[in-house]
Structure 1
Amino acid sequence: MPDSLPPLGLLLDVDGPIASPVTRTIRRDSIIADLITLAAANVPIAFITGRSSLFIREQVISPLLAAGLPETMRMYGVCEKGAVWFPITAAGMGTAVVDPSVALPTAAVDAIRSLVHNRFADTMFFDETKQAMVSVEQRTDAADADYAAAAADFNDASFAILTGLGLGVRFGDRVSPDASGAVPFRIDPTIISTDIESVTLDKDHGAERALAFFAESGPLPRVWRSVGDSRSDYLMADHLHTAGYEVAHVDVRPSDGVLDRPYPVIVEGDLIHDAAGASFLSYWVDKLGLRQR
């Protein structure tokens, strides 16, 4: 691995800046091409996501492999907000490690699965690919308004089920401790899904794990960018800022509210989601003089 200081490091959420939240795929060829170009230029790239390792393998790594990943690069995946992690090489996804200590009890998983199948199957599906957290996701044939209404009911019903099982759960302003007074789990909705997860999991946890991995293979860049479409994605930049790096966060859905942070927050004009993500990557390929003429 090159000993020279990399010019940039990237921590990337997947849904939104890389994969379209509508199609759930990488639909812009420029994103694939620019990721490969940056990786070949010794830019460490980590995908830090709530998605499962199977989703990342099929929807992110497979198109990167098809386009030709460089033999020498530093690429990493942190899935389920830090519960699952693996290296990515020119041969594809390495062995995934799962942290079983953050998983929900089997009874809770089964109860949520039954809730989805019995009451909400017309608007959402239970994500069977998750290995530690529980997730449900909007069906692609469900209207946004229909899903939003169903998700509100689902979240309330999930809170009731989990607390009924004696689990300590947080959902927004509602907090229900377990018998020991602990609250180890939370319900975390997004625009297309709801995650039920350990409170120890989040994007700052994923960022810490990615930096530790990259540090094993060479010097870390001083300049970093994190990119995401949710307010929780700012936690990646929070970790980098606290660790003393020069960082800015790129918000590809600023309509949800740009957070006040002690580091720059970047928006890509009027572009959002993967259009904004594509613009961001293109900017850095040009800035680093990597564009093929």
Structure 2
Amino acid sequence: MYDAIFLDCDGVVTDKKARVDKRVLFEVYRLAHAGKNIAFITGRSLTWLSHNIVPVIEHFNPSPEDKAKLFFIGEYGNRWLFFSGIGFMHGADNSNSLPVNVRAKIRNEIARFPLLFFDETKESFVSLEVRHDALISPSMEAEANRQLDIAAGYFSTRYPEFNVVRTLYAIDILPKGLDKASGIKRALELAGRVAEVLVLGDSQADLLMGEELMNQGVKFKFYYLGEQPVPPALFEVKKPSSRYAEGAHEVLSGIR
């Protein structure tokens, strides 16, 4: 059975409106308490993780031993948090980051997409995220998705030397080689040797987690929680009956 669980955040720990599901995080705490290594592998910043994930888990009063099982991998592995015995410590790797001048250029272009904002908490790449407070109707949600699609095409053409990834809520503009696979490498570096991993993701980009585990020779099972059809993969992909955080809760609550 699994001795590690690696999970995305957006669309896995959160619902479709980016709200954190505390039931999922309770299951994370429960499984860490049972001795399993847990790694959140996300493009989100450490600021977001520290404000939205860590406090909820702290509410369950985890012991130092429980916290030592938790790893928070932000910015696809360029930033991370781990428990040192006295508190959570920060780590950073700036060897593969978006140049400052490119970040400035993109910041000046965000006005083209009024339902998106420049996420200032990201330190090593750029995210243009949906303004969730503006999504007051289904038509506004549809318009936000339209702007995400247009922005993905625009920035892919504008900056072909970088990768542009469309996520559930955002557009990420990244140096090549910075992705969910690099997040997996960081998780394995921090967690140490693992025998079998449960992986939870909701997008095609998350399949890179499974591919990297294959490359590393690590046994794993992948659950896809997105509402779109399961993308083609090099490995078996399972799908629970529920989507997003509901699906994550369904899967995690069944593990002992």
TM value normalised by structure 1? 0.78
Inter-CA distance 50–259: structure 2 relative to 1 (3 Å threshold): same
> Matched residues in 1 for 2:119 and 2:125: separation?
10
> Matched residues in 2 for 1:131 and 1:78: separation?
14
Q: Which letter does structure 1 place at the counterpart of 2:107?
A: R
1:136 to 119, 128, 135: 128
- Residue deviations 1:72-110, cap 9 Å, x none? 03211111112212214686532231x223222222111
1:124 to 116, 119, 133: 116
C-alpha contact (below 8 Å) 1:227/1:250 kept by paired residues: yes
Inter-CA distance 227–103: structure 2 relative to 1 (3 Å threshold): same
Aligned to 1:189: 166
Aligned to 1:177: none
Q: Tell me the SS of whatever aligns to 1:125.
A: strand
Aligned to 1:38: 31
2:45 to 49, 52, 57: 52
Q: Which runs of 5+ in 2 are unaligned?
A: none
Q: Which letter does structure 1 place at the counterpart of 2:199?
A: S
> Matched residues in 2 for 1:137 and 1:256: separation?
23
Aligned to 1:210: 187
C-alpha contact (below 8 Å) 1:103/1:133 kept by paired residues: yes
Greater shift after overlay, 136-145 or 9-18? 136-145
> Matched residues in 2 for 1:109 and 1:274: separation?
31
> Matched residues in 1 for 2:119 and 2:221: separation?
32
Structure 2 residue 229 is matched with structure 1 residue 256: yes
Aligned to 1:94: 89
1:10 to 5, 9, 13: 5
* Cα offset, 1:31, TM superposition: 1.5
Structure 2 residue 151 is matched with structure 1 residue 154: yes
Number of residue pairs matched by the alignment: 249
Structure 2 residue 39 is matched with structure 1 residue 66: no
- Residue deviations 1:238-269, cap 9 Å, x none? 2223322221101001523243333x322112
C-alpha contact (below 8 Å) 1:61/1:92 kept by paired residues: no
C-alpha contact (below 8 Å) 1:65/1:92 kept by paired residues: no
Q: Which letter does structure 2 place at the counterpart of 1:207?
A: I
Q: Tell me the SS of whatever aligns to 2:62.
A: coil
Q: Which letter does structure 1 place at the counterpart of 2:131?
A: R
Q: Tell me the SS of whatever aligns to 2:65.
A: coil
> Matched residues in 2 for 1:40 and 1:90: separation?
16
Q: Which letter does structure 1 place at the counterpart of 2:179?
A: D
* RMSD over aligned Cα atoms: 2.1
Structure 2 residue 253 is matched with structure 1 residue 282: yes
Q: Which runs of 5+ in 1 are unaligned?
A: 1-5, 163-168, 170-182, 289-293
C-alpha contact (below 8 Å) 1:9/1:223 kept by paired residues: yes
C-alpha contact (below 8 Å) 2:230/2:237 kept by paired residues: no
TM value normalised by structure 2? 0.89
C-alpha contact (below 8 Å) 2:224/2:230 kept by paired residues: no
Aligned to 1:75: 70
- Residue deviations 1:107-140, cap 9 Å, x none? 2111211211x3323x111100000010001111
Q: Which letter does structure 1 place at the counterpart of 2:240?
A: E
Q: Tell me the SS of whatever aligns to 1:72.
A: helix
* Cα offset, 1:221, TM superposition: 3.5
Aligned to 1:112: 106
- How does 1:215-230 map onto structure 2 within 5 Å? 215=192, 220-230=193-203
Identity of aligned residues (%): 24
